[in-house]
Amino acid sequence: MAKRIEIIGNSLTIFDTDLSKRVTDIPRHLVYYKLNKLLDEGIISIFVVGNLVNQINVPSSILLADAVDTNDVPFTEDGFIAFAQENLGSDKAGTDSPQPVELAKNDLGYDAWGKPKVTIDNSLFHGMFTYSVPVTVWVEQLNGVELTEFSNATSVNGKLNLTSGVTLSDSSYLRTFRNPIYEPNRGHIFSTSVFLPEPTAAGIRRWGYFTTESGSFYEKTATGLYGVIRTTVDSTTTDDRYLLDERYIDDISKGNLYDIRMQWRGIGDYDFITNKFIAKTTDLLGGATDLSMYNPANPIAFECINLGDEVVLQAGCVDITSEGGEDSGKAYGSVSISNLNGQVPVTGYNTPVIAIRSLGTVGGLINTRDTLALLVNAYSDQRSLIRIWSTRDLTAITLNDQVWKDFGDGHLQYIEYDSPDVATPMTFDTAKAELVFGSRIDQDQTYTTTAMFENRTSIYLNPNDMFIFTIHRETGAACNVGLTFEFAEEI
């Protein structure tokens, strides 16, 4: 009864070759063996020290004669000692000597740098599909075109159900509006559960955090399961693919857990973790000439591509977490009526005082910088109404004689109504936008509304979004108005 003893990733794995079954998988830094047992009795006695969970299945002893290495070559006494000296602890006295207590029973109990987690993780973003695919959270692209309604993305029994489409080369790409950003010097981890019906079907299924230019994700094709890191350098996009060991997945068509954990800092390692065990750790340190991923702010995404068969991807909840992060890294900004008296005359209803948009691309690359709304201050010299509108249809604003102005480095652009003075100011088609907020302004008063809700929720201006702030006198007659919009860019 041969037992294959090997190191996979950061784990000691024991595989029963007769039963074709993995019997042990333990983080190797927890594992010790009794040297005297090996020398005196020809027995490999393995034990885990100081583990409070105490739920790891460890054979009490394995005959040296039954032990083989990763190439199925029988271990010799000297060969196992050399293997253990390189990879395991050694209890030379033959007894359980005191060791530090380990609180975790798998690699997810440690951060991306291998340190025990003693900080509180901060979930940057999560999604669930209990009743539907939430339209305020997700957007679908079919064959590269953004849809206004979902086509191939539905909720089925609480799961996301994404199909590729029935036509050859059909592609369905579902992504979040938000682009959770990596926080420097923190681990960054993506987590989800995925079901893959008909796993050998001719198609591609992807899940992770990614755009067409950057990110990291799992990729299932008819030939296997891959971990992928995508980047764009000098306008050329490349996918570094790593074939993953599927030994931790008994049936890939059923529900399994998938995590991607990265150290980053531009060139740190990535762990592709399936069912709580590391299937692959990339080895990038000291070998990279460019960042492994040029943009570390990417949407959570799922994708299905028809290469001959309609393929289906199903998912449970999904999350991106910063290991010990604080959701920081934002830069303050504001736009307002900037003429000398800080106000402009308006007549009629729903006059656009400020329009601000987040560009879809900047410098030829996909813009993934989210902008957190903070405050709006609105003024009128008459009793008026302030309304805030949101849209992804940029034709809702007709420029007429006005032009968009860059804010900061040009990820955002804005227009002030009739400032500077023009013959025909911008106009606004309210039918192309959604009203999200409204309130009265008292005469000669400033009304302030906050978008900060004590961490209960947040309002973001995402790439390809536009906010329009309108003010009008309650009768539609003339009045003088001003407005300031304050925000924070995730940089």
DSSP code string of 20-66: TEEEEEEEGGGEEEEHHHHHHHSEE-EEE-SBSS------S-EEGGG
Pair (91, 167) in one structural domain: no
**Residue ranges making up the domain that contains 375:** 330-490
Pair (305, 408) in one structural domain: no
Residue 107 has pLDDT above 80, yes or no: no
Pair (299, 183) in one structural domain: yes
The number of CA neighbours under 13 Å toward the Cβ of 239 is: 14
Question: Which of these ranges, 2-6, 228-232, 359-363, 393-397, has the smallest mean pLDDT?
Answer: 2-6
- Residues 6 or more apart in contact with residue 173 via CB below 8 angstroms: 140, 141, 142, 144, 301, 302, 303
Q: What is the mean pLDDT of residues 15-44?
A: 81
Residue 56 has pLDDT above 80, yes or no: no
Q: How confident is the model at residue 58 (pLDDT cuts 50, 70, 90)?
A: low
Pair (279, 403) in one structural domain: no
Pair (226, 117) in one structural domain: yes
Pair (288, 423) in one structural domain: no
pLDDT digits (tens, 9 = 90+) for 393-448: 999 999 999 999 999 999 999 999 999 999 999 999 999 999 999 999 999 999 99
pLDDT for 94: 43
Residue 173 has pLDDT above 60, yes or no: yes
pLDDT for 326: 80
In order of 187, 209, 231, 254, 465, the CA distances from 181 in angstroms are: 12, 10, 16, 31, 18
Residue 59 has pLDDT above 60, yes or no: no
The domain tally of the chain equals 3
CATH for 155: 2.60.120.200
Pair (75, 112) in one structural domain: no
Question: Which of these ranges, 352-366, 407-421, 453-467, has the smallest mean pLDDT?
Answer: 453-467
Q: How confident is the model at residue 388 (pLDDT cuts 50, 70, 90)?
A: very high
Q: How confident is the model at residue 54 (pLDDT cuts 50, 70, 90)?
A: very low
Pair (83, 139) in one structural domain: no
Pair (467, 478) in one structural domain: yes
Share of the chain above pLDDT 90, in %: 69
Rounded to whole angstroms, the Cα distance separating 227 from 241 reads: 6
**Where does a domain end: 105, 126, 151?**
105
Pair (170, 199) in one structural domain: yes
CATH for 373: 2.60.120
**Where does a domain end: 105, 137, 162?**
105
Pair (132, 95) in one structural domain: no
pLDDT digits (tens, 9 = 90+) for 226-278: 999 999 999 999 999 999 989 889 999 999 999 999 988 899 889 999 999 98
Q: What is the mean pLDDT of residues 7-33?
A: 81
Question: Which of these ranges, 32-41, 245-254, 438-447, 461-470, has the smallest mean pLDDT?
Answer: 32-41
**Where does a domain end: 105, 127, 161?**
105
pLDDT for 462: 98
Rounded to whole angstroms, the Cα distance separating 335 from 355 reads: 10
Pair (306, 349) in one structural domain: no
